């Protein structure tokens, strides 16, 4: 603990002394419709129809109501040329053995103790905590944690905490139990908050090089949801006023400098090594990027998607909420993996979602549209959306015109609920199957990316540009079924269209 407190104190001087966007090129100008064939060789048995007929393509059109102008400008497309086989998959929870293995990969031989909610601090811990808090009350260190107008409230909260947490009242020690990686009811960790028999947790606390981590696994099927997740993040298990603990630790390890290419590559290599050691299926890193976690504080985020039969799943936003068994609601998260590191490679956050069990594989390759057919489907689908449907998730008004640009297509697997599958997909498997309505099929699908700008009819309203203003990279408009061009989007999808 002394080492931890010394490290926290070491940042206070730095915090008291210190309180950084790429230009976006204009969208291509409107052009006449142009199709240029790309030679991809003969379309053999292992080459899918969509990839074999891909083209360089430009086009422009308007939505049916005229409120959206859409331009397509495709220089290339990320279309895998191998054949797709439809897979039937079932979401499942992480086993206790898998959870323990993940903990060992992340934390090595460090001891993980059972998590105690709002654990009482010992006399030693409270003395050292007081030292940090009293130092924060001096000078301008709190400016790093509070808006100027909230500093006085923050100081009052800290003083109140110090007044009510007396060292003489604290125990000499607190008994800790080593985590056995067995799921327990949610109420075992959070007593007094009601019984939730279908919400099971493994929750533990550990420390690496003076940095505390909370580590937990959820097996939550309460009220119809299916939350199967493992997470690790920086957090102390004793209480701190204003949640200062996490801020103090992360402020210390985050950099104020943009990471170098060498640092980003080193983080990616570390993430690749961790994924390999996890040994939980095949994964493809789809992003390794600098993220400003807080103003002027840089981290590196690595995300990955699972790979089945050599083909990755498409990256898409997780459902906005999981609302059980309502019609059209997807009640589980997409399988994915995310890690955030300091620029020096210190783990700050880890999350892994929704293991999948493959229960069947089609005997035949999946049918797919040609590129021309897919372009026709895109025009049909996009023509049906008005400007309000592009902007409603950003809480804009109704009097907007949207200029949308489609400049990237990516082909991969996507989850389609069994209940929404065409009957012919069931016939691929060659024999009768017992089908769980909570299952999914992995089907070939196309993610449609680009950018959009929204301009108000009121001149005082500033235009909105997704790539420039939202800072989330390319806009994922929607995902289309590569067999028939229909949109694959549950009611709780967080895509722009769907």
Task: Let me know: does 313 contact 87? Beta carbons within 8 Å.
Answer: no
Highest mean pLDDT among 4-18, 27-41, 91-105, 388-402: 91-105
Beta pairing partners, 57: 35, 74
Whose structure tokens read 């990686």?
A: 181
- Residue among 123, 112, 183, 104 nearest 1 (CA): 123
Question: pLDDT value at position 498?
Answer: 79
Q: State both tokens at 136.
A: 């924060």
C-alpha of 118 from chain center: 28
- Could you tell me the pLDDT band of residue 305, with boundaries at 50, 70 and 90? very high
Q: Which residue has the higher pLDDT, 120 or 339?
A: 339
- Give the percent of the chain with pLDDT over 70: 84
Q: State both tokens at 16.
A: 């008291």
Q: Average pLDDT in the 421-427 region? A: 60
- Could you tell me the pLDDT band of residue 425, with boundaries at 50, 70 and 90? low
- Could you tell me the pLDDT band of residue 429, with boundaries at 50, 70 and 90? low
Q: Average pLDDT in the 324-343 region? A: 90
Query: What does the DSSP assignment read for 255-283?
Result: BSSPPPHHHHHHHHHHHHHHHHHH-SSEE
Identify the three-state secondary structure at position 79.
Answer: coil
Residues 147-177: pLDDT tens digits?
766 788 888 999 999 999 999 999 999 999 9
Contacts of 380 (CB under 8 A, 6+ apart): 485
pTM: 0.86
CA pair distance 381, 376, nearest whole angstrom: 9
- Residue among 228, 378, 404, 405 nearest 318 (CA): 228
Task: Let me know: does 371 contact 282? Beta carbons within 8 Å.
Answer: no
Per the prediction, the chain carries an average pLDDT of 84
Cβ count within 10 A of residue 89 = 22
Q: Residue 45: left (phi > 0), alpha (psi -120 to 50), or beta?
A: alpha
Helices 2-17 and 123-136, packing angle to 10 deg: 10
Task: Let me know: does 142 contact 11? Beta carbons within 8 Å.
Answer: no
């Amino acid at each position: 603990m002394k080492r931890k407190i010394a490290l926290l104190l070491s940042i206070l001087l730095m915090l008291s002394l210190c309180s950084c966007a790429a230009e976006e090129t204009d969208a291509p100008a409107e052009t006449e419709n142009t199709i240029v064939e790309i030679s991809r060789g003969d379309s053999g048995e292992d080459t899918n129809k969509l990839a074999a007929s891909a083209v360089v393509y430009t086009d422009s059109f308007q939505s049916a109501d005229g409120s959206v102008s859409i331009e397509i400008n495709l220089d290339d497309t990320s279309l895998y040329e191998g054949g797709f086989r439809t897979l039937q998959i079932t979401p499942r929870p992480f086993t206790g053995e898998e959870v323990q293995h993940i903990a060992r990969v992340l934390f090595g031989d460090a001891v993980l103790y059972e998590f105690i909610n709002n654990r009482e601090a010992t006399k030693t811990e409270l003395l050292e905590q007081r030292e940090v808090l009293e130092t924060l009350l001096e000078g301008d260190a709190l400016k790093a944690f509070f808006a100027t107008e909230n500093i006085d409230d923050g100081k009052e909260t800290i003083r109140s905490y110090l007044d009510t947490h007396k060292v003489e009242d604290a125990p000499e020690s607190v008994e800790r139990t080593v985590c056995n990686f067995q799921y327990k009811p949610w109420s075992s960790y959070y007593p007094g908050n009601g019984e939730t028999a279908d919400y099971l947790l493994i929750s533990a606390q550990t420390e690496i090089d003076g940095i505390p981590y909370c580590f937990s696994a959820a097996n939550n099927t309460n009220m119809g949801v299916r939350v199967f997740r493992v997470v690790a993040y920086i957090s102390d298990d004793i209480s701190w006023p204003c949640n200062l603990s996490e801020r103090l630790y992360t402020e210390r390890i985050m950099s104020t400098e943009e990471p170098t290419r060498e640092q980003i590559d080193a983080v990616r290599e570390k993430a690749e090594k961790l994924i390999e050691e996890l040994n939980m299926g095949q994964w493809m890193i789809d992003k390794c990027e600098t993220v400003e976690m807080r103003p002027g504080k840089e981290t590196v985020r690595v995300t990955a998607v699972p790979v089945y039969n050599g083909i990755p799943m498409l990256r898409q936003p997780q459902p906005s909420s999981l609302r059980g068994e309502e019609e059209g609601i997807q009640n589980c998260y997409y399988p994915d993996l995310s890690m955030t590191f300091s620029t020096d490679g210190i783990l700050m956050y880890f999350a892994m979602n929704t293991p999948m069990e493959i229960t069947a594989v089609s005997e035949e390759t999946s049918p797919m549209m040609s590129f021309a057919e897919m372009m026709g489907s895109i025009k049909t689908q996009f023509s049906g959306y008005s400007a309000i449907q592009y902007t409603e998730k950003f809480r804009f008004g109704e009097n907007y015109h949207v200029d949308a640009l489609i400049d990237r297509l990516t082909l991969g697997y996507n989850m389609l609920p069994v209940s929404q599958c065409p009957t012919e997909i069931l016939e691929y498997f060659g024999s009768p199957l017992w089908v769980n309505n909570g299952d999914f099929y992995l089907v070939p699908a196309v993610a449609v990316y680009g950018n959009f700008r929204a301009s108000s009819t009121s001149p005082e309203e500033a235009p909105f540009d997704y790539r420039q203003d939202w800072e989330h990279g390319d806009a994922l408009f929607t995902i289309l079924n590569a067999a028939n061009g229909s949109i694959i989007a549950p009611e709780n999808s967080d895509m722009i269209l769907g």
